[in-house]
Structure 1
Amino acid sequence: MENKILCQSCGLPLDTEALKGTEKNGLKSIDYCKYCYEDGAFKHPKMTLTEMKNNVENQMKKLDLQENVIHEAINILPLLKRWKES
């Protein structure tokens, strides 16, 4: 299985530079996507893990992804850097 780099907040695969968020110095983040992280900070700093799970589930349902794929993505979230630290 290919080792993908995932956003350490939402689990989005960071397979292009365009998807990466930015640090305060303008460089691309190695850990977070543009939807979660901008200018060195989380866009929704008070978001809880439960809220992120709901958000990921809703976004994936809009993409008409299979239930098992959605559940797999949601189950990864607690293992990601942002949620391990909280």
Structure 2
Amino acid sequence: MRKRNWTAEEIETLGVATDIATAGSIFGFGRSKSYALARDGQFPVRVLRIAGAYVVPVEPILRLLTGPGDEPGPQADGPVRLQGGP
């Protein structure tokens, strides 16, 4: 299966928070890897545990992927990439 490239605009449409599988997809992780990272406290952003479910706030994802000073939004056209990534 081909990995999806998320844009900042698409990430913003997720709302305030998203599930661990979707958040992992943004970082290029599969479902199992996302859960393992969350369980081990190694997910790239803070993960909340609410009623037994992993919940990931969207704002820290955008901040991490766009970098300091960059404003995510409709003007961010291309795929969001991790800094230093391919």
- The question of a shared fold, defined as TM-score above 0.5 by the shorter chain, is answered with no
What TM-score do the two structures reach when normalised by structure 2?
A: 0.29
* Higher-RCO chain (CA-CA 8 Å, sequence separation at least 6): 2
Could you tell me the TM-score, scaled by structure 1's length?
0.29
